[in-house]
Amino acid sequence: MDPRRLFIAIARAEGISLLLLFFLAMPLKYGMGYEHATMVPGWLHGVLFMAYVVALAWVSAAEKWSILTSFTAFVASFLPFGTFWFETRLPEPAGA
C-alpha cells in the first residue's frame, strides 16, 4: 500500500470524526444533556487519531518529510478542518 494514499484516507476520516465530535456529539452532550452522545464518536475519533499518527510516521519516513512538515501535520489533527488544510499543502512525493 502506498503510504501517501493511506495517510490521506486516514486524515480525511480523522478530520470528519473530529468535526462530528466537535459540532454534533459535544453539543448534544453538553447543550442538550444527551450524556452518551460522545461515546461512539469519541471512541471512533480516538482510534482514527491513533491510526493518523501511525500513518503520519510512516509517510513522513517514506517521503523524508522535514520535522517541521511532520509537526505541522500533527498539530493540524487537533484543529477543526486542520487535516483538510494540511492535505492541500502536502509536499511533493519523494522522487517526483
Per-residue pLDDT tens over the stretch 12-64: 999 999 999 999 999 999 999 999 999 999 999 999 999 999 999 999 999 99
Establish if 12 belongs to a structural domain. yes
Got the DSSP string for 41-75?
A: HHHHHHHHHHHHHHHHHHHHHHTT--HHHHHHHHH
Establish if 94 belongs to a structural domain. no
Based on the structure, what is the number of domains in the chain? 1
Region 74-81 average pLDDT: 97
| Residue 28 belongs to domain spanning | 3-87
Establish if 92 belongs to a structural domain. no
DSSP state, 79? S
Establish if 68 belongs to a structural domain. yes
C-alpha distances in angstroms, 90 versus 34, 35, 50, 96? 38, 38, 20, 13
Establish if 93 belongs to a structural domain. no
Q: pLDDT band at residue 92, thresholds of 50, 70 and 90?
A: confident
Q: Which of 78, 43, 81, 74 is nearest to 57 (CA)?
A: 74
Considering the entire predicted model, what is its pTM? Answer: 0.92
Contact indicator for 83, 14 with CB cutoff of 8 Å: yes
Residue 10's CB is within 10 A of a number of other CB atoms, namely: 21
Establish if 77 belongs to a structural domain. yes
